[in-house]
Amino acid sequence: MVRALICLELILNSINLNLVTFSDLFDSRQLKGDIFAIFVIALAAAEAAIGLSILSSIHRCTQCVRACPTDVLEMIPWDGCKAKQIASAPRTEDCVGCKRCESACPTDFLSVRVYLGPETTRSMALSY
């Protein structure tokens, strides 16, 4: 959900940039629309920054780890986010493919793909 809202914000920003850019073709003496569009762009940038900070602070929630019925997931240290930890699946062969971890994630950050492996009945991969 958060990913979709951030993408929508970027689309609206690009529309506003096009409106500002091409407004000189029609009438360069009027600045009313340009000022409004630039204000909206600045406001959208602030909203995106706040949204990303909320998104990065939520990643420490460990709801995916607690939702796993077979204890496949665990949190490991990772410097790529503000929380300094990320979900990892060291025991993928124990995954039953229920995807409870994916539905428990409030940010849609976690995506689970379950594969059939030759040596095990199931294998799992996390994609971020």
CA distance 30 to 45: 24
Looking at residue 122, its amino acid is R
Predicted confidence (pLDDT) per residue in 66-110, tens digit: 888 888 888 878 776 666 777 777 777 777 778 888 888 776 666
Based on the structure, what is the number of domains in the chain? 2
* Residue 71 sits in the same domain as residue 34: no
Q: Which one is predicted more confidently, 103 or 37?
A: 103
Whether this model's pTM surpasses 0.75: no
Q: Which domain holds residue 67?
A: 62-127
Can you list the positions of beta strands (E) in 1-128? 74-77, 85-88, 111-115, 123-127
* Residue 49 sits in the same domain as residue 68: no
The CB-side HSE value for 106 (13 A sphere, CA atoms) comes to 10
* Residue 70 sits in the same domain as residue 13: no
Structure tokens at 59: 């990643």
